Each structure stands twice: as C-alpha cells, then as structure tokens.
C-alpha cells in the first residue's frame, strides 16, 4: 500500500522583494548572517518589503531623564509599554538600552526585531564635548535575540576619535556574529555652534562618517539650510547645491551616504504639538529619497491611541498610500 500523506497547508515562505534584494546587494562584504538580520528589519511590520523603515527608539530615559521623557504620558515609565506600542503600530524595529530590552525581550520573543543601544550619555554632567559610556555588549545583543547593535558617535566632539575607535571594534565584533550595525551620528561639541549641529554640510558629513565606519543603517537629524564650515560654504555656493527645501536637503544628506547606497533614517526630534508638522517632515524625507524615520518622543510622549494614529499615517505616507 502506498503511503497517504496529508496536503501541506499554511503560509508559503516569504521571498525578499526586488527592493529588499537591491538594498542587500549594496552590502557586498557582509556575511549571510548580517544580511539575514538586515532582511529581518526590512521585512518586518507594516512597511515590510517596501525598503522603508519606521523604528521606535526609547533611549531617552537614560539620555534625558525619566520625568522629561515619560511624565507627559506616564504609561511610558513601564518598559513593556514601548514593546507593545512598537508591535501594535507595526514598526520595523524597537531600539533601546540594555535595561529596557532585558525587562521584556523574553515576553515578546520573536514579535519584533530588536536593536540594542550599546552606548549612552546622561545629562547629569552635560559637558560641551560629550562622550557616551559603553553600557552593554555584542554578547548582550546576541543573548537578547537582537538583529543589530546601535551606537552613538558625536562628530565635532573633542572625544570623537575615541568614539570612532570604540565603534570600529564593536562593529567588527557584531558583524562577525551576523549582527547589523546602526549608528546614531549626531554632530555635537565645542567646535560646532548650536546651529551647526544640524547644518546641511555637517549633517551630510555625519552621514559620510558613519558610512565610512561601516554602518549598515545611519540615523541623523534633519538638516537645516545653514552651512557651518567656511571652506564647505565656498563649495556649496560655487556648485550651487540645492538646499531651499527640506526634501532637497535630505537628498544631499543621502548623497553623503554613498549616494544613497546606505540606509539613512531621520530623527523625529523633540515632541511637536502639531501632527501635521511631523507629517510634513515625513513627506520631505520620502521625497528626498530617505529611507524612513526613527521616531521616539513624537510617538511615546503622546497617549497610546494618538501615537498609533500618528504612526499609522506616517507609514501610509512612506508606503505611498497617502500624499
């Protein structure tokens, strides 16, 4: 008698979209493990397969203090709240320091890609030339099931070279273990004016530095039209780099990230009272060729239902479902 087998049922394994394949092809030196974790990020959440990303970062409790971060929406004091928000919203990933991830990673195992922030800076001693402390390890990221490590550098700080050297070692270790590397590249320090921290030339330079350091994903702030460096200003004026609109400035930052061949996502910044102001920035990121947003305070400092509506609209804009 022949063996009777039941028909195979269930969901067919998902293949990478052409856009995801194209993005992965830019990282030619990376091993299959790292590319798999990049694919997990790109294939997660509401924007899966589009090449766009919306990530929820919650490192502000360490960086700014708990009351400044969570008092306006007290459920945010609970680490599990942020896991739930990111999952319910359909974010591509959730990024946080060691303590927040350890508190609920097991409870939400496999439900959303995680990024462990390996260094952090507090404002109890808010020096002009900041340098974050390394507060966790690549081994911690592996233990918690993360797809990537996150690391902040402050180009413009007197301690920038130390941060670059720290990043170099941690990135090498992470890649050898098949993890992706996300770099927060935030110009800051005594050599820059406050306006210069988001200047167009400085933002593009910050993206370039992170790319040269081997970042797979780069987080920068949205650039203003200000030009900080005198020698750079001469070039910008001579060449006539377009910078009148935010979309044009985003496009120039993308040029700094290997002509758009590195994933660059843009910070949401401090909480804006107007949802429309957030949406206008998202449209500029989309129109300038950016890959998406890493949006913390504008999400978790709003009541949850409001945050979910906000993130839903942001994702629709990136997906091309809304203008």
- Catalytic positions are 219
Neighbours of 68 (CB within 10 A): 14
CA distance 42 to 51: 6
Spatial CA neighbour of 209 closest among 248, 288, 154:
154
Q: Do the Cβ atoms of 252 and 205 come closer than 8 Å?
A: no
CA distance 183 to 177: 17
31 token code pair: 């091993």
List the helix and strand counts (H, then E) for the chain.
14, 10
The DSSP symbol for 272 reads P
Q: Which residues contact 126 (CB under 8 A, 6 or more apart)?
A: none
Q: Which residues contact 120 (CB under 8 A, 6 or more apart)?
A: 59, 62, 63, 97, 132, 133, 135, 152
């Amino acid at each position: 008698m022949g063996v009777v087998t039941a028909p195979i049922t269930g969901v067919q394994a998902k293949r990478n979209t052409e856009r995801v394949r194209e993005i992965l092809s830019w990282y030619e030196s990376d091993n299959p493990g790292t590319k798999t974790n990049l694919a997990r990020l790109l294939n997660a959440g509401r924007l899966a397969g589009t090449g766009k990303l919306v990530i929820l970062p919650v490192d502000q409790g360490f960086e700014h203090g708990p009351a400044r971060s969570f008092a306006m929406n007290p459920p945010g004091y609970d680490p599990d709240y942020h896991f739930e928000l990111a999952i319910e919203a359909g974010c591509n990933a959730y990024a946080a320091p060691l303590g927040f991830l350890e508190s609920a990673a097991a409870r939400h195992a496999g439900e959303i890609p995680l990024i462990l922030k390996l260094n952090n800076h507090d404002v109890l001693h808010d020096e002009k030339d900041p340098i974050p402390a390394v507060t966790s390890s690549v081994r911690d990221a592996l233990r918690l099931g993360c797809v990537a490590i996150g690391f902040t550098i402050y180009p413009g700080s007197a301690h920038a070279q130390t941060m670059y050297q720290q990043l170099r070692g941690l990135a090498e270790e992470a890649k050898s273990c098949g993890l992706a590397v996300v770099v927060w590249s935030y110009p800051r320090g005594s050599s820059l004016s406050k306006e210069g921290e988001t200047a167009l030339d400085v933002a593009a330079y910050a993206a370039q530095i992170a790319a040269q350091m081997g970042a797979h994903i780069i987080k920068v702030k949205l650039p203003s039209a200000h030009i900080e460096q005198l020698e750079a200003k001469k070039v910008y004026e001579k060449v006539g780099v377009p910078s009148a609109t935010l979309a044009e400035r985003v496009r120039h930052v993308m040029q700094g990230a290997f002509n758009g061949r590195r994933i660059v996502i843009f910070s949401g910044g401090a909480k804006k009272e107007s949802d429309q102001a957030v949406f206008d920035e998202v449209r500029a990121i989309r129109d300038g060729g950016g890959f998406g947003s890493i949006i913390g305070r504008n999400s978790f400092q709003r009541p949850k239902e409001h945050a979910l509506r906000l993130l839903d609209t942001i994702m629709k804009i990136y997906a091309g479902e809304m203008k």
